[in-house]
Each structure stands twice: as structure tokens, then as C-alpha cells.
Amino acid sequence: MRTFEELHTIEAVDSFISSNPLSFIYISHTDCSVCHALLPQVGKLMENFPEIQLAHINSAEVEEIAERFIVFSVPALLLFIDGKEYLREARIVHMSQFEERLQKIYEGYTN
């Protein structure tokens, strides 16, 4: 399983996205059991996408994250390419559909 860089400020999130051409942000909340259960599954899936840089942020710690990215429910999974959001999944994530969509975007970018 790949690990996620822990981000603790909105500035760290902005810097992470701007400094990584392929960046993925996993937004969770302390009291969200689905968030905690899904994170290792996403980390395992991301082994197939080594060029994507991974980060995690807790919306209870950095409340501005919800407003910045218009997140109404967690977990929220956001993929950015060159600073632009290309993929978003939230709340109920169907892993097989998420993987298919991610694969298409990743192949288009890396090939």
C-alpha cells in the first residue's frame, strides 16, 4: 500500500497541488468511519499509478478545505493534473468504477 503525505494547512494543499503535475488529495474527517475504511483501499489501488503523488487532509483539522474545493461530504477523492481538477469522487465510492476512470485519465496523461 502506498502512503499518503499528511497535509495540515490549506497552504500546504495549494503547494502540494502546484508542485506535483499529478496530485491526488484524499479528504476525510475524524469521525468518518467510511473515510478510515476506504483510505487503505485507495492506497492499495494507487500502487498501479506510481506517478500520482498522494496526500491526505483531515477536514476537521483544516476546515477551509471544504470551502476551497466545494466538498459537501467525505470521503472526497480529488485528482489534479497540472493544478486542474480532473476527477472527483465523494461519499460512496465504487472502487471498480473509480479505478476505470482513473486508469483512462492516467493513460491519457502518461502515454
Whether cis (ω within 30° of 0) applies to the bond prior to 50 is no
Q: Could you read off the pLDDT of 70-101 as tens digits, one per residue?
A: 999 999 999 999 999 999 999 999 999 999 99
Cα separation, 80 vs 60, whole angstroms: 22
Q: Could you read off the pLDDT of 49-63 as tens digits, one per residue?
A: 999 999 999 999 999
pLDDT computed for residue 111 by the predictor = 82
- Residue 79 and residue 85 in contact, taking contact as beta carbons nearer than 8 Å: yes
- Residue 28 and residue 36 in contact, taking contact as beta carbons nearer than 8 Å: yes
Cα separation, 18 vs 13, whole angstroms: 9
**Cα distances (Å, whole numbers) of residue 27 to 8, 44, 71, 104, 109:** 11, 17, 9, 22, 23
Cα separation, 74 vs 87, whole angstroms: 15
